[in-house]
Amino acid sequence: MKNAVTQLVLVLALVLGLAPLQSAVAQDEPFTENYIAIDPALIVNLASERRTRFLKVGIELYVRTAEAAEVVNTHMPLVRDRLITYFAGRSVEEVSAVEERDALRLGALKAVQEVLLERAGVFAVDGLYFGSFIIQ
C-alpha cells in the first residue's frame, strides 16, 4: 500500500511540476548504494630483487549511510593515496599468500578508517573487499 501511495505522489509531483515534493518522498526510501568502488583499480610496485613486479587490486568500500558515502567520495583522493601507500613496496610473498589476504584486507580497512577519522571525524567505512587481486 505504501508503495502505491509513493508512486501516486511521484506521478502527481511530475504532473504538477513539484520537484521539492518529489525529493521529500525520495528521502524516505532506504539507502541502497552501499558499495563504493575505488575506480580505477590500484596498481602498485611490489618489492622484488629479481624483476619488477606489480599488484593490481580492485577494492570496494562498504558504507551504511548516504552521509558516509558522501564523506568517502569527498575524500576519495586521500583514500586512494592511503591505500597506494599501504600496498606499495610489500613483498611478493606477502601479497601472494592466501592466508595473508585477510590480514591485508583488514589492514587496508584500518588505514582507510584512520584517514577518514583524521580528516572528517568519522570512520565512515564499515568494510573493505577485494573485487580483484592480480600479481604480475
Mean pLDDT over residues 34-40, rounded? 95
Instruction: Using DSSP bridges, classify how beta strands 53-62 and 35-46 pair: parallel, antiparallel or unpaired.
Output: antiparallel
Task: Please give the share of the chain, as a percent, with pLDDT higher than 90.
Answer: 62
Residue 28: which pLDDT band, with cuts at 50, 70 and 90? low
Is the pLDDT at 75 greater than 90? The verdict is: yes
Instruction: Output the CA–CA distances (angstroms, integers) from residue 23 to 4, 29, 39, 80, in the order listed.
Output: 17, 10, 28, 32
Is the pLDDT at 108 greater than 80? The verdict is: yes
Task: Please give the share of the chain, as a percent, with pLDDT higher than 70.
Answer: 79
Residue 43, Cβ neighbours under 10 Å: how many? Answer: 14
Q: What is the pTM of this model?
A: 0.74
For residues 127 and 109, what is the distance between their CA atoms, to the nearest angstrom? 7
pLDDT at site 29: 64
